[in-house]
Amino acid sequence: MDVKDYRQAYERELTAGSSRAKAAAPASAAAAAPHAAAIDEISRVPQERDQLPTKIPSLIATLRDQNVATPIRQAALRALRAVAFLAELFAPFRAEFLDALRQIAKPDTDQQLRQDALEILSAEKDPYAQDLLKKGLENEQDSLVPAVKALQFLRNDDHGNFVDIARDVFQKAQDVATKVAALRIMATDAKSRGLLEQLLQDKTQPQALRTLSATGLHFLDPQKFAEVAQKIILDKSDFEDIRATALGALANAPDHQHLFHDTAFIDAIKKLGSEGPLQNLHSAVGRFMSKL
Amino acid sequence: MLEISGVTPLADVVAYVDRLRASPDAGEILVGLLAEQSPIYDGRSTNEAERLRGYVLTSFENIGLPASAMAFVIEELETGLNAYTVAAAAKAVRGIHDPPEHLVPLMLEAIDRIASSDDVVCFEHILPRAGGAATTTALTELFRTFAWLGPRAVAALPALKAMLERNPSTFSPAVAREIEKAIAAVAIGQPSTHHSCCAHNAQPSSFLTSSDIDIGSIALQDQDGELFSFGEFFRGRPSALTFFYTRCMNPNKCSLSITKLGRLQQRTREEGLDARFNVAAITYDPAFDISQRLRIYGANRGLLFDDRTRLLRTMGPFDPVQRYFDLGVNYGSTTVNQHRIDLILLDSCGSPSTRFTRAQWEEKDVLAAMNSLS
């Protein structure tokens, strides 16, 4: 697949996702309608600060209860997430809340509810949730959430040993969003420098992957990034937005001050500023030159 | 004997630990499994490593806690953030024949630390299960240990009563009931007249280094990108050297160590001793901790860099430094999975003479030991 096709596929995917969300919104509103009173009552709980010590346990019980309608359980989870910000008040109920989340992170729970549960548990670096997510990535039949979500959730823990599974998903995935999520995990590993360098220079890769590779390489090895970025910026056959991104990174990061004294590079950048109708690149040139 | 390593499935390691628990000489073998360098942790994630340590620690509740395991229990109570491992340390205390009184303030500190991150724990399985039976929480285990200590923890009575009187309560009703039980058990005692001779903070000790490594030739880079060898920097004046990594998730370990290193530097300046000593730290994670990262990390923690004060990384693998100083650290596939606190004093020849290990070190103790070197 060439770059154009990849980009078009990505755009189609984004559009489809947005349409799905729009279609789903009325459906979920319809499902919630019969429970409006209960949901309304639950949604007021976070404001009733004095009542929280007695209300939080009943919210957790509602969340756990499989016999309660899903929209009500979702409302309970939303309320609990809001209350959790009141750390001191919520602390006595934290263990029970996490236990309830683990209990609902299973296949027969509503898809959104279990995804929310896994998201919260993953933010806590919870090993139970991590194990479920990893199993889902290894075997699609076990997956509780889409691969892109599983990767986004696992990324919360850079001590979690998820680079290997991310690399595996990256190689097999067809959609850019999943590849991006996998690459974000790989970009926390210093051993990924080579791959990031290669992706950044590969003009056939989607822009999202190349931009992320630029960020990742800059994070892991600013010197190597500067070397690669200089080549890309001056390569007229490369995409304008990638060249502009690379130049922007060199202009703004404090690690590359030496380039402001590199007369050959500065002359080349000046020349770029006067060439062709490349608006983004010209703006980046302007920003770079203003730092001199 | 079963060969246990980092690739051994967790279930098999657990079965091995279970078998060890039943053997008469289990204590010291289990203590050996607590060392961070133990091969059972090689390549594991931090979560797995923490849970394995917790599972081993909890063994001591029933088989008795050997003296050599005390430092590990103190370390968890003093710096642990993982509810499972801290709960395991609390259970291990119940295996001590004659609990030292300095455990009481450490247990209270652990309660303060875990109060906002409590979680259900179950020691029948190594991995958490959803809605499982036989679960308690880390706080429950800590208060049960106070109840087990009974009159020996009488010094904690005012703090325990204050916890119960907080309004609104910072404890769940179930935990509050455990506090009540702990108070009832502790209150029957009289204030102790027996004082332990041993402080819990790290005390200087001597050690042997691995002699097959030429530490002096190891290439280092500092926070400004300057390159030199270990010998070039550390030979010529005595040094305080600690270890850290910028991705450490426990603020009571690396971040605090570097902050304290900054305070140590400040004290040497105030006492006019700064020209006599090097103050430095080497990262456990040299591939990730590039110069720029070291500079920002140190500056944010109050280190004032100069030619005697630097944060360093090895230019090659860290392994020779780890082996030479016998550092308590191990690695997952991406970064460190666990480590202890290590601070080493080197004499003016760059040779290690004293170490402060595992428990928190105090600047005054390190300064006193540094003064005795020069």
Question: What are the start-end ranges of the H helices in chain B?
Answer: 10-21, 26-34, 46-58, 60-63, 70-79, 83-93, 103-114, 138-149, 157-165, 173-187, 230-234, 256-270, 291-300, 319-325, 363-373
CB A159 to CB B287 under 8 A? Answer: no
Residue of A nearest to B118 (CA): A95
What's the pLDDT band for A25 if we cut at 50, 70, 90? low
Task: Report how far residue B66's alpha carbon sits from residue B95's, in angstroms, rounded to the nearest whole number.
Answer: 9
Q: Which residue has the tokens 């993953």?
A: A122
> CB distance from B172 to chain A under 8 Å?
yes
Question: What is d(CA B111, CA B117) in angstroms, rounded to the nearest whole number?
Answer: 10
Q: Is B113 on the interface with A (CB under 8 A)?
A: no
State residue A10's pLDDT score: 53
Helices (H), chain A: 3-32, 36-44, 52-64, 70-83, 87-90, 94-104, 111-123, 127-138, 147-154, 163-172, 176-186, 193-201, 207-220, 222-234, 240-252, 263-273, 279-290
The C-alpha of B298 sits at a distance from chain A's nearest C-alpha, in angstroms, of 17
Interface contacts (A, B; CB < 8 Å): 105
Amino acid at A264: A
**What is the DSSP code string of B43-72?**
T--HHHHHHHHHHHHHTHHHH---GGGHHH
> Mean pLDDT in runs of 10 for chain B (374 residues)?
82 93 90 95 96 96 95 96 97 95 96 94 83 82 97 95 89 95 89 52 68 92 97 96 98 97 95 93 97 96 96 96 95 96 95 92 94 81
ipTM of this complex: 0.91
DSSP-based three-state secondary structure for A4: helix
Query: Which band of pLDDT confidence, cut at 50, 70 and 90, is reported for residue A258?
Result: confident
**At residue A255, does pLDDT exceed 90?**
no
Residue B256: other Cβ atoms inside 10 A: 17
> Cα(B127)–Cα(B138) distance, rounded to whole angstroms?
15
From chain B, the residues in CB contact with A91 under 8 A are 115-116, 118, 170
Closest Cβ–Cβ partner in B48, B119, B287 for A190: B287
Would you state the pLDDT for residue A75?
97
- Looking at residue A23, its pLDDT comes to 58
Q: Are B108 and B149 in contact (CB under 8 A)?
A: no
**Using a CB-CB distance cutoff of 8 angstroms, which residues of chain A are in contact with residue B118?**
91, 94-95
Nearest to A127 among B47, B169, B333 (CB): B47
Whole-number pLDDT of residue A22: 55
- DSSP class of residue B280 equals E
B171: nearest Cα among B123, B203, B138, B135: B138
Distance CA A224, CA A7 (A): 27
Q: Rounded to an integer, what distance in angstroms lies between the CA atom of residue B262 and that of residue B305? A: 10
**How many other CB atoms sit within 10 Å of the CB of residue A234?**
16
Q: Residue B241: beta bridge partners?
A: B280, B344
> Looking at beta carbons, which residues of chain B come within 8 Å of A126?
128
Question: What percent of chain A has a predicted confidence (pLDDT) above 90?
Answer: 69
Contact A168, A178 (CB under 8 A): no
Is B42 near chain A, with CB under 8 Å?
Answer: no
Model confidence at A176, in pLDDT bands (50, 70, 90)?
very high
β-pairing, B219-222 vs B136-137, is unpaired
Residues of chain A positioned with their CB less than 8 A from the CB of B332: 159-161
B334 and chain A in contact, CB less than 8 A: yes
- Report the C-alpha gap between B27 and B91 in whole angstroms: 15
Which of B116, B115, B117, B73 lies closest to B94, judged by CA?
Answer: B73
B318 in A contact zone (CB under 8 Å) = no
Q: What is the reported pLDDT for B197?
A: 46
The residues on A that touch B, with CB distances below 8 Å, are: 53, 64, 87-89, 91-96, 98-100, 102-103, 105-106, 125-128, 130-131, 157-161, 163-164, 188-191, 220-222, 254-255
Q: How confident is the model at residue A5 (pLDDT cuts 50, 70, 90)?
A: low
Place of tokens 């190597």: A224
- What is the number of residues in chain B? 374
Burial of A250 (0-12, 13-18, 19+ CB in 10 A): buried
